[in-house]
A and B are shown apart, each in its own frame.
Chain A
Amino acid sequence: MLRINNFGTRKLIKDVCKQRYYSAAVPKPKTEHETKKEPKRENESFMANIFRGNLVSKQVFPYPDVLTEEQKEITNSLVDPFERFFTEVNDAAKSDANSKTDDSTLKSLWELGGMAIQVPNDYGGLGMNNTQYGRLCQIVGANDLGLGITLGAHQSIGFKGILLYGTQAQKDKYLPKVSTEEVYAAFALTEPSSGSDANSIRCRAVKSADNKYYVLNGSKIWISNGGIAEIMTVFAQTEQIDKKTGEKKDKVTAFIVERSFGGVTSGPPEKKMGIKSSNTAEVYFEDVKIPIENVLGEEGEGFKVAMNILNNGRFGMGATLSGTMKKCIEIATAHANNRVQFGQKLKAYASIQAKLAQMNILQYATESMAFAISQNMDAGSQDYHLEAAISKVYASECAWYVCDEAIQILGGMGFMRDTGLERVMRDLRIFRIFEGTNDILRLFVALSGVQYAGNHLKELQRAFKNPSANLGFIFKEASRRGTDLSAHVVPELMESAKKTAACIDLFGRTTEEVLLKHNKNIIHEQLILNNLADAAIDIYAMVVTQSRSSRASKLNLPTAQHEINLTKALATQASDRVMDNLKKTTSGQQQGQNKLLSVIAQEICNQDGVHTTGPLDQQ
């Protein structure tokens, strides 16, 4: 049964919308205003819909398969030559040691066409779609994450804005340069005082009196390719006049800035823990004159531009890291197959077996997510932001785990530089931090979902005010619960699908419950939001793997049984975790625990660190 109370839901929605966005790299939740403007379009996101207990299966079942035979053939014909570049020309270990990729190697990557994979052919690029790009990203991930950053900062975010928002003139001018003329691009959003909270940037651009150019001042930090880029997508505050009220207000605008405009300088390469071969630097802007035609997108719409660029590129991280994990598993497997201890090969021991199995389960789920999302994007979906955020969090955490376990299987050998895993571990650390920290993305997933559910509750509430007129809607709502996935999976996965369906049901009910309980204050319940996000992530992992392995089974692929096994194992562990996380959101015991943690943290902060008496300290 639905429980509706009369207070709060309406206000909650307003408050969620008014709330300052939490973050960098997090898309702005749609405001009520915007929703009204557009003709009503059903949100097709599987994940958004399960927040309201609704099953919209289009994006996940059956597993998307959007490439034409020709596209598949082209992609596969590029795999070998691209791999060959990494195994025969590039030397990841050397680049890591030098904190720089050799110029000759970079030159051959440019010549190879690897710097403009998604730029249309007419501008000199390869014209690949997201899914094809993802396949190549896997090769990058398996071989050199540092070079992957150089490559990704350039095309996944550096000039992506020109592809997405550029005018014809901007495309004609810049795309050939960044595709074939060896001109690097960068994306400059982060500032010293503005990390996760991207809307608070301080760079400022002032329009000239004759309206012909902007003058940009300010600085950016930790900009990938910042020291080498000639062309940058830069975000700065600009004064905008509200068309309705005439009020002057600061709003972010995106610009295409060339180093050659003058006044653009950059700092020395930062010394980093990993991804060392990529260039990271501060970039300074001093009275940089930007012609007005270099505004990217609408003036004052820069925040949206930034978020869409990041959203659009986020799936690539999942694809990249699925390649990294695959490589880690290969290295670990080779060791387990050959190393003999206590008279047996490591592969004979159950604890090693469990590790290898777990590593493959996570790799399979990560890869399934990445290519479900990329293919939905290629099919024209607009509703992939939640899934993309989930896949980024999942991929970066699984990759860390998988690399860590690979090192563990290799023991002391894994700790040695020559094995190649130590570098990967250092490289991987940043993936949980950049392009939207996992903490912020978890909040984004939960808050966007909760908001979507809240909107729906509000509609329902209205319907109840005039039940006779809205009976159909109410009945539909009342009969909605009771998710059944059995039609979407092969018989062998029935049990897993049942577990998942139970999770989805409880997930919808729990979201409703916490919404009704906390109202607008849900925004401040970060730990509850984290629980919801973790449950959402696990549900998505279960669903995409069930979908993918069902496809494998239906196509009679030689690997089908193995994939089914991975899927089943994942469903068992993930569904347990989902139930646990969902229970925590409402359990009194957990709330007590959360409060206790908060008290402890406050003490730590008040005392500037650990404040306990050491066992040997004088009483």
Chain B
Amino acid sequence: MARVLVGVKRVIDYAVKVRVKPEKNGVVTQGVKHSMNPFDEIAVEEAVKLKEKKLASEIIAVSVGPTQSQEVIRTALAMGADRGVHVEVSAAEYELLQPLHVSKILAKLALDEKADLVILGKQAIDDDANQTAQMTAAVLDWPQGTFCNKVEKTDAGLTIVREIDGGLETIKTKMPAVLSADLRLNTPRYATLPNIMKAKKKPLKKMTPKDLGVDTTPRIEVVSVEDPPVRQAGATVADVDALVAKLKEGGHI
């Protein structure tokens, strides 16, 4: 029976139209709806499924971020995680927190909590980094199974079907391992209202990166954040000949 660590990140809700702050140093987060990163929901669901199949003994949900990050830990607890760990990083510091920092934190926690499996979302929908799972595996020197489409427990370890360009790849790994969840791994369940209420009573441990001996001092600086360029107005052409002429003129053909 494995102990599973899942990472859950609080991100701006996928349905929100993201706006750049007037100072151009980031995006507007104040008063904006946030929720759990959708790929992390898939990761939590996979962990809960393992527990339901009696393949996992305990699920620990971890979030690194400001105080509000606890909301997504509660969501994970409502979905079926057993306890939470909140690694608090101030809002200002969080703006520059990088996947490498998070990887180090998760790796240390995985060792401290004696986890056999770390399941993370393949990427967060805010910075789209797609690095944390890979780097966590590297820091731990554990095997990794990224972009999971299917995970099966076998005697020796895990059989994993991965989503790769143009198809699927099946690999086998030993445990402990780090996995990253892709979109089609499962359909996450909805947290029921009674479970949300019960989740409030589940334990949630608070700590800081310092407690884990991880230095989160920023080494980068955000120079400017810009809106995507506005699409320029198109034009209609009279016929195919005109179209071809225009395309030639533009050097496209």
B33, B196, B200: the one contacting A81 at CB < 8 Å is B196
Q: Which of A74, A77, A126 gathers most chain B CB within 10 Å? A: A77
Cβ-based interface call for A22 (8 A): no
Q: On chain B, which size bracket covers the interface?
A: 10 to 19
Pair B192/A113 contact, Cβ less than 8 Å? yes
Cβ < 8 Å to B, chain A residues 563-596? none
Residue of A nearest to B191 (CB): A81
Cβ-based interface call for B250 (8 A): no
Q: Which residues of chain B have C-beta atoms less than 8 A from A74's C-beta?
A: 197, 200
Pair B74/A112 contact, Cβ less than 8 Å? no
Q: A74-B200, A77-B74 are in contact. Are A82 and B35 (CB under 8 A)?
A: no
Cβ-based interface call for A316 (8 A): no
A89, A108, A126: the one contacting B194 at CB < 8 Å is A126
Pair A112/B35 contact, Cβ less than 8 Å? no
Shortest C-beta distance, A437 to chain B (Å), equals: 33
Residue of B nearest to A117 (CB): B193
Pair B190/A89 contact, Cβ less than 8 Å? yes
Shortest C-beta distance, B253 to chain A (Å), equals: 37
Pair A113/B190 contact, Cβ less than 8 Å? no
Pair B190/A77 contact, Cβ less than 8 Å? no
Q: A74-B200, A77-B74, A80-B35 are in contact. Are A108 and B190 (CB under 8 A)?
A: yes
A85, A117, A124, A126: the one contacting B190 at CB < 8 Å is A85
Shortest C-beta distance, A167 to chain B (Å), equals: 25
Cβ-based interface call for A78 (8 A): yes
- Docked Cα-Cα span, A121 to B201, in Å, equals 14
Q: Which of A113, A117, A124 gathers most chain B CB within 10 Å? A: A113
- Docked Cα-Cα span, A124 to B197, in Å, equals 12
Q: Which residues of chain A have C-beta atoms less than 8 A from B200's C-beta?
A: 74, 77
Q: Which residues of chain B have C-beta atoms less than 8 A from A242's C-beta?
A: none
Shortest C-beta distance, B198 to chain A (Å), equals: 9
Residue of A nearest to B33 (CB): A80
- Docked Cα-Cα span, A126 to B33, in Å, equals 25
Shortest C-beta distance, A120 to chain B (Å), equals: 12
- Docked Cα-Cα span, A121 to B196, in Å, equals 13
Pair A126/B191 contact, Cβ less than 8 Å? no
- Docked Cα-Cα span, A307 to B248, in Å, equals 80
B33, B74, B193: the one contacting A113 at CB < 8 Å is B193
Q: Which residues of chain A have C-beta atoms less than 8 A from B197's C-beta?
A: 74, 78, 121, 126
User: Can you list, as one digit per residue, whether each of A82-118 has a CB less than 8 Å from chain B (1) or not (0)?
Assistant: 1011000100000000000000000010011110010
User: Can you list, as one digit per residue, whether each of B183-210 has a CB less than 8 Å from chain A (1) or not (0)?
Assistant: 0000000111110110010000000000
- Docked Cα-Cα span, A1 to B152, in Å, equals 88
- Docked Cα-Cα span, A114 to B195, in Å, equals 12
Q: Which residues of chain A have C-beta atoms less than 8 A from B192's C-beta?
A: 81, 111-113
User: Can you list, as one digit per residue, whether each of B58-95 has a CB less than 8 Å from chain A (1) or not (0)?
Assistant: 00000000000001001000100000000000000000
Q: Which residues of chain A have C-beta atoms less than 8 A from B196's C-beta?
A: 77-78, 81
- Docked Cα-Cα span, A85 to B2, in Å, equals 32
Residue of A nearest to B195 (CB): A113
- Docked Cα-Cα span, A74 to B78, in Å, equals 13
**Chain A: interface secondary structure?**
helix
Pair B193/A126 contact, Cβ less than 8 Å? yes
Q: Which residues of chain A have C-beta atoms less than 8 A from B71's C-beta?
A: 77
Q: Which of B74, B190, B194, B196 gathers most chain A CB within 10 Å? A: B194
Shortest C-beta distance, A70 to chain B (Å), equals: 9
Pair B35/A113 contact, Cβ less than 8 Å? no
Residue of B nearest to A558 (CB): B31
- Docked Cα-Cα span, A74 to B74, in Å, equals 11
- Docked Cα-Cα span, A117 to B192, in Å, equals 12
Residue of A nearest to B200 (CB): A74
Q: Which residues of chain B have C-beta atoms less than 8 A from A81's C-beta?
A: 78, 190-193, 196
Cβ < 8 Å to A, chain B residues 23-45? 33, 35
Q: Which residues of chain B have C-beta atoms less than 8 A from A80's C-beta?
A: 33, 35
Cβ < 8 Å to B, chain A residues 248-304? none
Residue of A nearest to B78 (CB): A81
Residue of B nearest to A80 (CB): B35
Q: A74-B200, A77-B74, A80-B35 are in contact. Are A113 and B194 (CB under 8 A)?
A: yes
Q: Which residues of chain A have C-beta atoms less than 8 A from B78's C-beta?
A: 81
Q: Which residues of chain A have C-beta atoms less than 8 A from B191's C-beta?
A: 81
Residue of A nearest to B34 (CB): A80
Residue of A nearest to B198 (CB): A121
Pair B193/A78 contact, Cβ less than 8 Å? yes
Shortest C-beta distance, B195 to chain A (Å), equals: 8
Shortest C-beta distance, B188 to chain A (Å), equals: 11
- Docked Cα-Cα span, A113 to B192, in Å, equals 6
Residue of A nearest to B189 (CB): A111
- Docked Cα-Cα span, A85 to B196, in Å, equals 14
User: Can you list, as one digit per residue, whether each of A108-149 has a CB less than 8 Å from chain B (1) or not (0)?
Assistant: 100111100100010010100000000000000000000000
Cβ < 8 Å to A, chain B residues 1-59? 33, 35
Pair B193/A114 contact, Cβ less than 8 Å? yes
- Docked Cα-Cα span, A112 to B195, in Å, equals 9
Shortest C-beta distance, B193 to chain A (Å), equals: 4
Shortest C-beta distance, A32 to chain B (Å), equals: 46
- Docked Cα-Cα span, A81 to B8, in Å, equals 17
Shortest C-beta distance, A76 to chain B (Å), equals: 10
Shortest C-beta distance, B103 to chain A (Å), equals: 29
Shortest C-beta distance, B31 to chain A (Å), equals: 9
Cβ < 8 Å to A, chain B residues 159-204? 190-194, 196-197, 200
Q: Which residues of chain A have C-beta atoms less than 8 A from B74's C-beta?
A: 77
- Docked Cα-Cα span, A499 to B98, in Å, equals 60
Shortest C-beta distance, A65 to chain B (Å), equals: 22
Q: Which residues of chain A have C-beta atoms less than 8 A from B193's C-beta?
A: 78, 81-82, 112-114, 117, 126
- Docked Cα-Cα span, A124 to B190, in Å, equals 18
Shortest C-beta distance, A562 to chain B (Å), equals: 15
Shortest C-beta distance, A333 to chain B (Å), equals: 16
Pair A84/B190 contact, Cβ less than 8 Å? yes
Q: Which of B74, B191, B193 gathers most chain A CB within 10 Å? A: B193
Shortest C-beta distance, B119 to chain A (Å), equals: 22
Shortest C-beta distance, A80 to chain B (Å), equals: 7
Shortest C-beta distance, A104 to chain B (Å), equals: 13
Q: Which residues of chain A have C-beta atoms less than 8 A from B35's C-beta?
A: 80
- Docked Cα-Cα span, A89 to B190, in Å, equals 10
- Docked Cα-Cα span, A85 to B194, in Å, equals 14
- Docked Cα-Cα span, A77 to B197, in Å, equals 8
Residue of B nearest to A125 (CB): B194
Q: Which residues of chain B have C-beta atoms less than 8 A from A77's C-beta?
A: 71, 74, 196, 200
- Docked Cα-Cα span, A110 to B242, in Å, equals 61
Given A111-B190, A112-B193, 8 additional A-B pairs, CB 8 A: A77-B200, A78-B196, A78-B197, A81-B193, A81-B196, A124-B194, A126-B194, A126-B197
A residues apposed to B, CB below 8 Å: 74, 77-78, 80-82, 84-85, 89, 108, 111-114, 117, 121, 124, 126
B residues apposed to A, CB below 8 Å: 33, 35, 71, 74, 78, 190-194, 196-197, 200
The 7 closest A-B pairs by CB, nearest first: A113-B193, A113-B194, A112-B192, A113-B192, A78-B193, A81-B191, A126-B193
What would 17 A/B residue contacts be, using CB atoms closer than 8 Å? A77-B74, A77-B200, A78-B193, A80-B33, A80-B35, A81-B190, A81-B191, A81-B192, A81-B196, A82-B193, A85-B190, A111-B192, A112-B190, A113-B194, A121-B194, A124-B194, A126-B194
